[in-house]
A and B are shown apart, each in its own frame.
Chain A
Amino acid sequence: MTDPVPFTVIGGFLGAGKTTLLNRLLRDAGRRRFAVLVNDFGALDIDGGLVAAHDGDTVALANGCLCCTIGDSLVTTLLGLLERPERFDHIVVEASGVADPGRIADLAVLEPRLVRDGVVVVVDAVDVRERASDRRLRDTVMRQLQAADLLLLNKIDLAVDLAAVRCWISMQTAAPLLESKHADVPLDLLFGLDRAGGSSDESSAEAFASWSYEWSEPVERDALLAMLREARGGVLRAKGIVRFADSADRRSVVHLVGGRLDVSDQGPWGDTAGSRLVMLGLRPMLGSLPRETTT
């Protein structure tokens, strides 16, 4: 069986900037083949010259990416995608404006061909508090904020009271916050590095840093996980294949997206070289990591 495909859900209200983010993703995908499930093709800004094929519910792009409209049922659209012969490096779902993106991310747990990557919720810095004060929408806003592994506070250039918005959000959720104008963020922070470990996104490489660690000896589980937990907010992604001292014959996979840290067992250690961990974060944040505890 091939490796499961990382599955990311983009949530957030209508108008927050989900589509802008997806347009950026499709344009700057680099060598990576994304399959993107969206609510409305029409909203996407797909350059006609990049369209390789269009058959109603799907658009195949020249760069290897595929867009599918979700239509009436995400479940059948996703299953249909998984039945296609092409393999993708990453599947991204645009949640509807009122959906709970955490529930959608559960699909990756139910589907062995997928692995849950993260829930990114795009927040409109201009009107999120107004939405949250509407009694008909308040619980929907809160469910989205609380489902987020990573928040993208967008339209910061248009917000008049940014400090107050930041403060309000920090009281609703512990998820780390990235800030953007026009959803312009380093894509690698949201979707990880490609399989070769390289960035797909040359222009944003300056904005963040990646650190990698290698250990030849088994690693103390508590020390490593404590380091990652403390670093949350600074380290926005981490991925590692680790040989923990308490289960030195097993391959443990450490996966961090925003505020969510998962450790899973992937069978016997085998004869792979040492443990390896790659972390991504914003440059100023990473610089403050207590590196002595981990090396």
Chain B
Amino acid sequence: MTITVYSTRRIITMNPNRPFATHVAVRDGRILGAGSLEELKGWGKVELDSRFADKVVLPGFVEGHSHAFEGGVWKFPYVGYFDRTNPDGSRAPGLKSIDEVVAALSAHEKTLPKGASLLAWGFDPIYFGGRRMDLADVDKISTDRAVVIIHSNFHVANANTAVLAKAGITRTTNVHGIVKDAKGEPTGELQEMAAKYMAYRAAGVEIAAVLSDEQAVWRFARVAQLAGVTTATDLHNELPDSTVDGYLKATASDDFPIRLLPAFAATAISPAEGVPRLQALVKRNNEKLRFQLVKIVTDGSIQGLSARMRWPGYYDGTPNGVWNVGPDDLDRVLLAYHREGFQVHIHTNGDEASEVGIEAVERALAVAPRWDHRHTLQHAQMADAGQFRRMKALGMCANLFANHLYYWGDVHYAKTLGPERAERMDACATALATGVPFAIHCDAPVTPIGPLFTAWCAVNRLTASGRTLGEAEKIPVAEALRAITLGAAYTLKLDEELGSIDVGKRADFAILDDDPLLVPPEKLKDIGVWGTVLGGKVFEAPRR
């Protein structure tokens, strides 16, 4: 049994007994110890590996809220405003105007077979000074094949005339979500159900399978690994057999670079069927695949104006959002999985949704008391101090959507929440102060996966326009690093197994070019990720 000792510039362990070290010893995919070379030699004959001698090593990053769908969408061209990393490690450059998007897709169109639809994703017009994409733009790409450009929020899309004509959409079509211009003509912009329906119609139903097949999960794993992630969730999946098979196959490979935790979409079928199904899936777990999480989505999104808000509601007066799963169903489904010992992750964006989530857990505990359930509010973007105190009292965790501060902070400030609530959204400092165990997340593909960037958001709270959104909710770098490692592991009940560099834990590391505790906090997101180590196996990221 070989003992490999890695020498490093510095190891940040997240183990308070020994917060820093220079060397880490690995045997059988697990950590034998972190300390000095002399200390580690006490374990026996070691092989010294100096390839990380100038690197800084952290516990592998844990992304507590992402979707393998991120790997699915990379099958299609990315047309977002911000640069984004491809699964192959190359940069997909951000497109800075509607004309750039049209030019890129016109070039792509020429590579497609006759009759195929053109789908693209990641488009975000909020940075284009108010100009919206319209039919004239999209028709420049093609007038005969169906073209659908999905926005970064995945709730809005732009289509071309071919798509509208096929569906018979005209100025007289009176349907929610068909955007019309001042003259009453459809602009090709489609929202919510209309957007989703037309995208699936154009793509064909089989697209749903393509978006979470074995290849998709490989692409997802690669994108995650490039960002230093060693454990990632696929936090809402119905887990049809085809997906489960793909996940089992992918994770059986030595080269698969992450540990994957799918969360079972609990409301897709009744708990009477769902509980035994999940129990059966748990038996198929392997070193890199863990079925154990349950997900329930209560409300919509804040930027989509579909989050459930408490009084006084949206800053711009938009009526309250919608329930996907209302209070009654949440109680019923949560209790069913709670009773069986599962940990439930509850999507709650608005503060009314958080309230309903907290109360559902409270009721479940009254009926079926349970210790260390760690039911987690996912997003909890508007949770206030009082709600954090209730979460603490009930033994709940929070996973806060720090990336929102950057990507939509300006919109929240001006339109959805208003200044006061925008400044206290994604309240990491309040979570710390109240003692609620918390993680921070990206929700990929809604925003790109990149825990260092997510940590940078929680530390600096800067919006895309450069506004500081809530000085008082900033957290120190060390706390942000904990949130993307051990903190996130705790919210997934994996903290005894990974999340810190400590004797007996899995040898999962993020290998960084620089020291996140020594660079200026505003540079945190710019630290290069050399690669990762997963269970002792080294995964070097392709050089950029």
Question: Chain A: residues with CB nearer than 8 A to chain B?
Answer: 13-15, 40-43, 69, 71-73, 75-76, 79-80, 83, 96-100, 102-104, 106-107, 109-112, 135-137, 139-140
Cross-chain contact A98 with B326 (CB below 8 angstroms)? yes
Measured between beta carbons, the chain A residues less than 8 angstroms from B267 are 72
Cross-chain contact A73 with B167 (CB below 8 angstroms)? no
| B327 close to chain A: CB less than 8 A | yes
Which residue in B174, B319, B327 is a CB contact (below 8 Å) of A139? B319
Question: Chain B: residues with CB nearer than 8 A to chain A?
Answer: 166-169, 173-177, 192-194, 196-198, 200-201, 205, 208, 238, 265, 267-270, 272-273, 308, 311, 319-320, 322-329, 352, 355-356
In this complex, what residue of A is CB-closest to B330?
Answer: A98
Q: Which residue of B166, B176, B269 has the most chain A CB atoms within 10 A of its CB atom?
A: B269
Q: A42-B272, A110-B167 are in contact. Are A79 and B205 (CB under 8 A)?
A: yes
Q: Once the chains are docked, how many angstroms separate the CA of A135 from the CA of B312?
A: 12
Which residue in A42, A73, A106, A136 is a CB contact (below 8 Å) of B273? A42
CB distance from A190 to the nearest CB of B (A): 23
Measured between beta carbons, the chain A residues less than 8 angstroms from B270 are 40-43
In this complex, what residue of A is CB-closest to B328?
Answer: A14
Cross-chain contact A106 with B268 (CB below 8 angstroms)? no
CB distance from A74 to the nearest CB of B (A): 8
In this complex, what residue of A is CB-closest to B298?
Answer: A98
Measured between beta carbons, the chain B residues less than 8 angstroms from A71 are 238, 268-269
Cross-chain contact A103 with B268 (CB below 8 angstroms)? no
In this complex, what residue of A is CB-closest to B238?
Answer: A72
Measured between beta carbons, the chain B residues less than 8 angstroms from A42 are 270, 272-273
Cross-chain contact B322 with A98 (CB below 8 angstroms)? yes
Q: Which residue of B311, B322, B352 has the most chain A CB atoms within 10 A of its CB atom?
A: B322
Cross-chain contact A139 with B320 (CB below 8 angstroms)? yes
Which residue in B192, B197, B208, B327 is a CB contact (below 8 Å) of A137? B327
Measured between beta carbons, the chain B residues less than 8 angstroms from A137 are 326-327
Measured between beta carbons, the chain B residues less than 8 angstroms from A109 are 173-175
Cross-chain contact A97 with B329 (CB below 8 angstroms)? yes
Q: Once the chains are docked, how many angstroms separate the CA of A136 from the CA of B313?
A: 12
Q: Once the chains are docked, how many angstroms separate the CA of A248 from the CA of B326?
A: 50
Cross-chain contact B175 with A79 (CB below 8 angstroms)? no
In this complex, what residue of A is CB-closest to B326?
Answer: A98
Cross-chain contact B323 with A140 (CB below 8 angstroms)? yes
Which residue in A83, A102, A111 is a CB contact (below 8 Å) of B205? A83
Cross-chain contact A72 with B200 (CB below 8 angstroms)? no
Q: Once the chains are docked, how many angstroms separate the CA of A80 from the CA of B197?
A: 12
In this complex, what residue of A is CB-closest to B209?
Answer: A76
Measured between beta carbons, the chain A residues less than 8 angstroms from B356 are 136
Q: Name 20 extra pairs, CB < 8 A, besides A14-B326, A75-B197.
A: A14-B328, A14-B329, A69-B269, A71-B268, A75-B193, A76-B208, A96-B325, A96-B329, A97-B329, A98-B323, A102-B176, A106-B177, A107-B197, A110-B167, A110-B173, A110-B175, A110-B197, A112-B166, A136-B327, A139-B319
Cross-chain contact A98 with B329 (CB below 8 angstroms)? yes
Cross-chain contact B322 with A100 (CB below 8 angstroms)? yes
Which residue in A40, A98, A104, A110 is a CB contact (below 8 Å) of B269? A40
Q: A14-B329, A106-B194 are in contact. Are A76 and B205 (CB under 8 A)?
A: yes
Q: Once the chains are docked, how many angstroms separate the CA of A140 from the CA of B327?
A: 12
Q: Once the chains are docked, how many angstroms separate the CA of A7 from the CA of B267?
A: 24
Q: A40-B269, A137-B327, A139-B319 are in contact. Are A79 and B201 (CB under 8 A)?
A: yes
Measured between beta carbons, the chain A residues less than 8 angstroms from B326 are 14, 97-98, 137, 140
CB distance from A257 to the nearest CB of B (A): 16
Measured between beta carbons, the chain B residues less than 8 angstroms from A13 are 328
Measured between beta carbons, the chain A residues less than 8 angstroms from B169 are 110
CB distance from B89 to the nearest CB of A (A): 32
Q: Once the chains are docked, how many angstroms separate the CA of A207 from the CA of B324?
A: 37
Which residue in B174, B176, B196, B311 is a CB contact (below 8 Å) of A75? B196
Measured between beta carbons, the chain B residues less than 8 angstroms from A136 are 308, 327, 352, 355-356
Cross-chain contact A107 with B193 (CB below 8 angstroms)? yes
Cross-chain contact A103 with B193 (CB below 8 angstroms)? yes
In this complex, what residue of B is CB-closest to A69?
Answer: B269
18 A-B pairs with CB atoms under 8 Å apart are: A40-B269, A43-B270, A71-B238, A71-B268, A72-B265, A72-B268, A75-B196, A96-B329, A98-B325, A102-B176, A103-B176, A104-B193, A110-B173, A110-B198, A139-B320, A140-B322, A140-B323, A140-B326
Q: Which residue of B167, B173, B193, B272 has the most chain A CB atoms within 10 A of its CB atom?
A: B193
In this complex, what residue of B is CB-closest to A116?
Answer: B175
CB distance from A145 to the nearest CB of B (A): 15
Cross-chain contact A80 with B205 (CB below 8 angstroms)? yes
Cross-chain contact A110 with B194 (CB below 8 angstroms)? yes
Q: Once the chains are docked, how many angstroms separate the CA of A80 from the CA of B194?
A: 17
CB distance from A153 to the nearest CB of B (A): 20
Q: Once the chains are docked, how many angstroms separate the CA of A80 from the CA of B208?
A: 11
Q: Which residue of B205, B265, B270 has the most chain A CB atoms within 10 A of its CB atom?
A: B205
Q: Which residue of A71, A100, A102, A136 has the most chain B CB atoms within 10 A of its CB atom?
A: A136
Q: Once the chains are docked, how many angstroms separate the CA of A136 from the CA of B329?
A: 14
Q: Which 7 A-B pairs have the closest CB atoms?
A: A98-B326, A98-B323, A72-B268, A106-B175, A40-B270, A71-B268, A79-B205
Q: A42-B273, A72-B268, A98-B326 are in contact. Are A111 and B208 (CB under 8 A)?
A: no
Q: Once the chains are docked, how many angstroms separate the CA of A111 from the CA of B205?
A: 14
In this complex, what residue of A is CB-closest to B169?
Answer: A110
Q: Once the chains are docked, how many angstroms separate the CA of A35 from the CA of B481?
A: 53
In this complex, what residue of A is CB-closest to B359?
Answer: A136
Measured between beta carbons, the chain B residues less than 8 angstroms from A140 are 322-323, 326
Cross-chain contact A111 with B167 (CB below 8 angstroms)? yes
Q: Once the chains are docked, how many angstroms separate the CA of A249 from the CA of B329?
A: 53
CB distance from B280 to the nearest CB of A (A): 14
In this complex, what residue of B is CB-closest to A112?
Answer: B168
Measured between beta carbons, the chain B residues less than 8 angstroms from A14 are 326, 328-329
CB distance from B94 to the nearest CB of A (A): 29
Q: Once the chains are docked, how many angstroms separate the CA of A141 from the CA of B219?
A: 43
Q: Once the chains are docked, how many angstroms separate the CA of A69 from the CA of B265?
A: 14
Measured between beta carbons, the chain A residues less than 8 angstroms from B192 are 103
Q: Once the chains are docked, how many angstroms separate the CA of A13 from the CA of B176?
A: 22
Measured between beta carbons, the chain A residues less than 8 angstroms from B320 are 139
Q: Once the chains are docked, how many angstroms separate the CA of A41 from the CA of B325?
A: 18
CB distance from B333 to the nearest CB of A (A): 11
Q: Once the chains are docked, how many angstroms separate the CA of A69 from the CA of B319?
A: 31
In this complex, what residue of A is CB-closest to B267?
Answer: A72
In this complex, what residue of B is CB-closest to A77?
Answer: B205
Q: Once the chains are docked, how many angstroms separate the CA of A140 from the CA of B269?
A: 22
Q: Once the chains are docked, how many angstroms separate the CA of A97 from the CA of B174?
A: 24
Q: A71-B269, A98-B323, A140-B323 are in contact. Are A111 and B197 (CB under 8 A)?
A: yes
Q: A73-B208, A76-B200, A83-B205 are in contact. Are A112 and B167 (CB under 8 A)?
A: yes
